[in-house]
């Protein structure tokens, strides 16, 4: 396992412990959680019941329709990652868990809780200034590394926003083209 993955697992374990310490209110939400699945455009745009802020409108063209594949391009991968960053800023657990579903499933298999409980705790760890910055964050395409036609690395340095993010508070991610769209896998 890569060192970054181990650090991510350790940080996530701490987050999970913090989430468990929040009390029984969070536990009830977690029991209602369903496994992450790729969703259609209408499902991805549904507001989350746990979001504290109503999600801002995403570009409708950002999500593929049921009868059309998302393009296997660097631009689409960046678009999906920006969707994830904006959802983090809005505390939109549905979109976050949809885009990061494969990585969240790996973390759960390694002993962490489901995506919904893990990210609920992560939302609490992001400062208000960082949340505001994430809502409009963009990605510098020149800093993105295409490893294969189906695998792209998004380093934390590629995130352009009004706040500064490090490996410790945002991290770098790998996106892979799976099930006709780009998903965070590591």
Which helix (DSSP H) or strand (DSSP E) does residue 129 occupy?
helix 128-134
Residues 6 or more apart from 66 whose CB is under 8 A from it?
40, 41
Question: DSSP string covering 6-46, please?
Answer: HHHHHHHHHHHHHHHTT-HHHHHHHHT--------HHHHHS
pLDDT higher than threshold 60 for residue 19: no
In the prediction, which pLDDT does 20 show? 36
Mean pLDDT, residues 128-142: 96
Q: What is the pLDDT of residues 138-163, one digit of tens each?
A: 999 999 999 999 999 999 999 999 99
Query: Residue 90 has what pLDDT?
Result: 97
Average pLDDT over residues 65-86: 88
Query: Mean pLDDT score of the chain, rounded to an integer?
Result: 74
Q: What confidence tens digit (pLDDT) does each residue in 24-75 have?
A: 343 334 444 444 444 433 333 333 333 333 333 333 344 544 457 899 999 9
Say what the pLDDT of residue 121 is: 86
pLDDT at residue 1 greater than cutoff 90: no
Rounded to an integer, the average pLDDT of 130-142 is 97
pLDDT tens string 113-127 = 899 988 988 899 999
pLDDT at residue 112 in the model: 86
Say if residues 107 and 9 touch (Cβ distance below 8 Å).
Answer: yes
Output the pLDDT for position 127.
Answer: 93
Integer CA distances (angstroms), 45 to 42, 115, 121, 172, in order: 5, 18, 22, 25
Q: Which two tokens stand for residue 90?
A: 């809005």
Greater confidence (28 vs 184) lies with 184
Phi then psi dihedrals of residue 29, to 5 deg: -60, -40
Find all residues with CB under 8 Å of 18, minimum gap 6, and list them: 121, 124, 125
Percentage of the residues of the chain whose pLDDT score is greater than 90 = 51
Q: Please give the pLDDT value at position 69.
A: 85
């Amino acid at each position: 396992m890569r060192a970054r993955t181990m650090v991510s697992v350790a940080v996530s374990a701490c987050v999970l412990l913090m989430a468990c310490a929040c009390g029984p209110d969070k536990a009830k939400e977690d029991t209602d959680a369903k496994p992450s699945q790729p969703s259609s455009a209408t499902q991805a745009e549904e507001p989350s019941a746990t979001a504290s802020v109503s999600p801002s409108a995403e570009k409708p063209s950002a999500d593929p329709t049921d009868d059309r594949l998302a393009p296997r391009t660097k631009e689409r991968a960046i678009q999906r990652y920006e969707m994830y960053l904006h959802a983090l800023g809005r505390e939109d657990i549905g979109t976050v868990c949809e885009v990061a579903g494969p990585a969240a499933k790996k973390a759960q298999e390694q002993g962490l809780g489901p995506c919904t409980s893990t990210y609920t705790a992560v939302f609490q760890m992001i400062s208000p200034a960082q949340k505001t910055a994430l809502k409009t964050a963009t990605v510098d395409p020149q800093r993105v590394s295409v490893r294969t036609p189906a695998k792209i690395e998004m380093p934390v340095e590629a995130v352009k926003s009004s706040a500064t993010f490090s490996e410790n508070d945002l991290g770098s991610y790998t996106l892979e083209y799976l099930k006709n769209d780009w998903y965070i896998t590591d």
